[in-house]
Amino acid sequence: FNGGSALSVTDGVAARAVATTFVASASSMLTWLALERILKGKSTSVGASVGAVAGLVCITPAAGFVTPGWSIAIGALGAPWCFATVELMNRINLVDDTLDAFGLHGSGGIAGAILTGIFAVEDGLIYSGSFLLLGKQIAGAMAGVAFSAVGTAIIVGVMKLLLKLRIPEDQEAGGVDQHTHGESYHSPVKQYPKAKSSDVSESTEQPSETV
């Protein structure tokens, strides 16, 4: 998606966006697995998937504007930021972020926008020594946060007038699919006919053939 968003393929931006997207995702995934290993004692397949998504989110603002080498740094720096945000959100009982929408996409997008101002080719802080682009990126990220907060508040306010935002806790614990939609997320376990006692005794009495 990052490569496809480039307006032209003749200037190398699309190819750079594709390369940096893959590299940042891999870097973030490895960093996330390392954090799990260090802080929780073991790495998980879920952590690998979440870490890869964190890298994709962080690199998106910078995909066409940084080199593949610096995309490694963006993935490695974005992963701890998203990891800490996800852990914090999971400990706040007043926030229900089951899919880590803010922990990954919100927080990762902010981190990626800011890191773009540091690592962007030519105008980034490490290339130009100027904080101009970094300041613009921070201002843009904060403007995005404000716009999203106001827009979400309006949408949620309208929804509260029309329907309930949450189901009862007992239904949530029992499974939303079953209580709300009358279906389960998996097929029922297939029931096999029980063997007759005579069949079982006959099978045990027959001697096994030897070769």
Model confidence pLDDT, tens digit, residues 38-51: 999 999 999 999 99
Q: Looking up tokens 């096999």, which residue turns up?
A: 192
Q: How far apart are CA 55 and CA 63, in angstroms?
A: 11
The reported pLDDT for the residue numbered 97 is 83
Residue 57 has pLDDT above 80, yes or no: yes
pLDDT value for 27:
97
What percent of the chain stands above pLDDT 70?
85
Tokens of residue 76, six digits: 């490695």
pLDDT-derived band at 174 (thresholds 50, 70, 90) equals: confident
Q: Is it the case that residue 208 has pLDDT exceeding 80?
A: no
As a whole number of angstroms, the distance between CA 28 and CA 34 comes to: 10
* Overall average pLDDT of the 13-19 stretch: 89
Tell whether the model's pLDDT for residue 32 goes beyond 60.
Answer: yes
How much is the CA Rg of the chain, to the nearest whole Å? 26
Contacts of 114 (CB under 8 A, 6+ apart): 134, 137, 138, 141
**Residues 36-75, buried b or exposed e (16+ Cβ, 10 A)?**
beeeeeebeeebeebbbbbbbbbbbbbbbbbeeebbbbbb
Q: How confident is the model at residue 114, as a pLDDT?
A: 97
pLDDT of residue 9: 63
Assess contact for 20 and 67: CB atoms under 8 A. yes
Read off the pLDDT of residues 128-166 as tens digits, 9 standing for 90 and up: 999 999 999 999 999 999 999 999 999 999 999 998 888
The CA distances from residue 45 to 28, 36, 190, in Å, are 14, 11, 28
- Residue 110 or residue 14, greater confidence: 110
pLDDT band for position 197 (cuts 50, 70, 90): low
Report how far residue 78's alpha carbon sits from residue 62's, in angstroms, rounded to the nearest whole number.
12
Among positive and negative, which fits the CA dihedral 144, 149, 155, 156?
Answer: positive
Is the pLDDT score of 195 beyond 70?
no
